[in-house]
Amino acid sequence: MNSTDHQIVLGTMDFGTRVAPDRAFAILDSFVAGGGVWLDTANCYSFWADPSGVGGASERVIGAWLKARPGARDMVRIATKVRQNPLVPHSWPQSAEGLSARAVRSGVEESLKRLGVEHVDLLWAHAEDRTVPLQETVGAFGELVAEGVALRVGAANHAAWRVERARSLAREQGVAPWTALQLRHSLVQPRPLTPIAESGHRMLTAEDLDLARSEALTVWSYSSLLWGSYVRPDKPLPDTYDHPGTTRVLAVLDDVAAELSVTRNQVVLAWLMRQGIDPIVGAGRAEQIEEALAARRVRLTDAHLARFTESR
C-alpha cells in the first residue's frame, strides 16, 4: 500500500474563528490547486472559539468560498458532522445537539443552508449519543442517504462495537450503513491507559483498524500532527506523551526525515497513509497545506515502517 492510495483531508475547524475568512479562502484555493479534494467540517465548529457561543462559522466560510468560486463545488467533496453543536449559546455540554432522528435531520438541514449546497458527500455522527436508541440514529442517517442529502455516512469517535452494531441494524432496516470511521491517531502515542486532556476525543485502536480492514471501511484520523508539536518548539507534546517510546519514535522520525530530505510532518502523514488512513490536516496558512500535500510523494519503505514499529 503506497501513500498515493490515500489522501490528505483539509481540516477546516478554525475557519471563521481562529482563521479569518480571507486566509481560509487562500488555504482552500491552495488545497484545490494542489489536487486536494476532501474538506472536513462540522456544524459545531468552532462554538468554543466563537463569541456567539454556537457553531456554524466554518460551514459559512466554506459556503462563501463556494459561492465566490464558480465550479469549485465540482472539484471538492464536503464532509460535515452533526452532534455536539450547542442549541443554547454558551451552554455546552448541557444543550449539546444529540443524535435523535429529529436532531440529525435538523442539524444537516442547517448545515446545507450554511454551506449553500444541496447535499454533502459524507455525513458523520460526531460522537455517540447513548440516550437515543441506536436504531433510531441509524434509520435517520439511512434516510438521508436514500434522499440524496448525504452520499455516504460515517461515525466519528465511536467504539468499534457500536459501529458494527449500527451496521447490523442498518442491514436489518435495509438502509445505508456507516462506511467510514474518524478517530484520533498519530505516529507518537500517549502512555497506555492514561486519559488525554481532550475528553471528547477517541483514540484509534487496533480493533478499529481491524474492523475497517475487514469491512472495507474508510478511516480518517484527526489531530494527526498534534497541533504542530512535531515541528514547533513552542508547542511541546502534551504530558501524556512523555514516555520512553516517544523519545525513541522521535529519534527514528528525525533519521527518516533526514534520509528522505523531507519534514517531520511529511513523514508522519506518509506513515499514516501507509497504514491505510486518510489524515485530516488543519492549516492556518496556505504554505502549511502545500507542505502537507507534498507528503503524498513521500515514499516510506517497509524497512522504514519496521523501524518505527521496533522503536515503540
Residue 184 has which C-alpha cell? 484520533
The domain limits of the chain are: 3-311
Distance separating alpha carbons of residues 104 and 143, to the nearest angstrom = 10
Distance separating alpha carbons of residues 154 and 156, to the nearest angstrom = 7
Q: Which segments within 98-248 are labelled E, that is strand? A: 122-125, 153-156, 180-184, 218-222
pLDDT one-digit tens code per residue, 10-51: 999 999 999 999 999 999 999 999 999 999 999 999 999 999
Query: pTM here?
Result: 0.96
Q: Are 150 and 173 in contact (CB under 8 A)?
A: no
Distance separating alpha carbons of residues 302 and 312, to the nearest angstrom = 16
Cβ count within 10 A of residue 198: 10
Residue 81 in 3-state DSSP? Answer: strand
pLDDT at 5: 74
pLDDT at 199: 84
Distance separating alpha carbons of residues 47 and 220, to the nearest angstrom = 22
Distance separating alpha carbons of residues 72 and 294, to the nearest angstrom = 22
Residue 186 has which C-alpha cell? 498519530
Superfamily of domain 3-311 in CATH is NADP-dependent oxidoreductase domain (3.20.20.100)
Q: Are 183 and 203 in contact (CB under 8 A)?
A: yes
pLDDT at 264: 98
- In the chain, which residues have pLDDT < 70? 1-4
